[in-house]
Amino acid sequence: SRPILDMSYSRHFLDFQGSSIPSSMKKLVVTKLSQNFREAVTLQRDSPVPLPGDGDLLVRNRFVGINASDINYSAGRYDASVKPPFDVGFEGVGEVVALGLSASADYTVGQAVAYVKAGSFAEYTVVPARQAVPLPSVKPEFLTLMVSGATAYLSLKELGDLSEGEKVLVTAAAGGTGQFAVQLAKKAKCHVIGTCSSDEKGGFLKSIGCDRTINYKTENVESVLRKDYPEGVDVVYESVGGKMFDLALNALAIKGRLIVIGFIAGYQNPTGLQPIKADLLPAKLLKKSASVRGFFLNHYLSDYKMALQHLLKMYERGDLVCEVDFGDMSPDGKFTGLESVFRAVDYMYMGKNIGKIVVELPHSVSSKL
């Protein structure tokens, strides 16, 4: 049966500037499960542009976000039942160019929206209207909040139990989610320590309020923590895994909380995980009445819209820096077009980015937004 579409206005089937929506598009598709993104993913150049159903929006993507977990998804680590081919990419910002009848109650053609949904690495994506987030304009800064900002906000709120004056260690602090963990911990009046891989990143971290930066390429993280924080740190926001996890665990204070939001050091490995010294974990936790807690955004979707609205208001008030990295400093320049998603993923795994990596998808029709 065909989906019910709003036939009352022909503009619902037109680009809002009057040029028709093409019948085919480019998109990235996982054609083989592999932790090597370039091996797993294929750029398809003539995929049909999908039709929105009754409650759906057709979004023309203008900016898409790169996440460390794109590799986990293309390696098949999240859901073993999903077999290739399947679409990839988790988040996008763009304009509504067509919509179904029910969706037209709340949205119009030309409206700026953001969304979190598998399949954003495409020129057009169908998004259920109830999952879309209306935006005042199409800006890449809004994209930083969708997964990265929400992950930092909800994990610290639900699991961090932050109190004024506590010491918070953020690993990979200059990255997409790290930048928000630093700022939100500072808003909670905590003392924030951030690890990073360059002096340039350290400078960025200081500019957003980080009290102590540790460049792990030139400083020994373990020695710095032992010397400067002999009593330990109260909360760790940990996204690296492997040896960094072990360091963070050993650095916990009495009643310390270690929040695991990822383990990027292991994502490109065939096994997926770098070993940690877990055999002593029970004894270490008991000795300090400490805890290790995992956070996966999908399990907190009931609070997601609340978190996003809060972050959007903070950004609009000027209370939140949303740093975007378009790859201008990467060897082949700015990440433009779906072809550059492969470079953007490589760039992230080389640890080069400051802030959230975003790819721009240019369109031949210039946008009014």
Q: What is the pLDDT of residue 268?
A: 86
Is the omega angle on the peptide bond into residue 85 within 30 degrees of 0, that is, cis? yes
CATH homologous superfamily of domain 146-299?
A: NAD(P)-binding Rossmann-like Domain (3.40.50.720)
Does residue 301 contact residue 267 with C-beta atoms inside 8 Å? no
Residue with tokens 């009352």: 8
- Do residues 242 and 263 make contact, with C-beta atoms less than 8 angstroms apart? yes
**pLDDT value of residue 10:** 45
Domain boundaries for CATH 3.40.50.720 within the chain? 146-299
pLDDT score recorded for residue 2: 52
Q: pLDDT tens digits, the chain, 369 residues: what are they?
A: 555 554 444 444 544 454 568 889 999 999 999 999 999 999 999 999 998 988 999 999 999 999 999 999 999 998 888 899 999 999 999 999 999 888 989 999 999 999 999 999 999 999 999 999 999 999 999 999 999 999 999 999 999 999 999 999 999 999 999 999 999 999 999 999 999 999 999 999 999 999 999 999 999 999 999 999 999 999 999 999 999 999 999 999 999 999 999 999 999 887 777 888 888 999 999 999 999 999 999 999 999 999 999 999 999 999 999 999 999 999 999 999 999 999 999 999 999 999 999 999 997 544 443
pLDDT of residue 80: 83
Residue type, 51: L
CATH class of 24-138+323-360: alpha beta
**Cα gap 187→182, rounded to integer Å:** 9
Q: What pLDDT does 254 receive?
A: 98
Task: List the one residue out of 338, 348, 271 whose CA is nearest residue 42.
Answer: 338
**Three-state DSSP class for residue 347:** helix
Q: What is the DSSP string of 155-195?
A: HIIIII---TT-EEEETTTTSTTHHHHHHHHHHTT-EEEEE
Full DSSP string of 326-346: --TTSTT-S-BSGGGHHHHHH
Domain limits, CATH 3.90.180.10, in the chain: 24-138+323-360
Residue type, 182: V
> How far, in Å, are 59, 63, 131, 141, 162 from residue 365 at the CA level?
15, 15, 26, 22, 47
The one-letter amino acid code at 223 reads: S
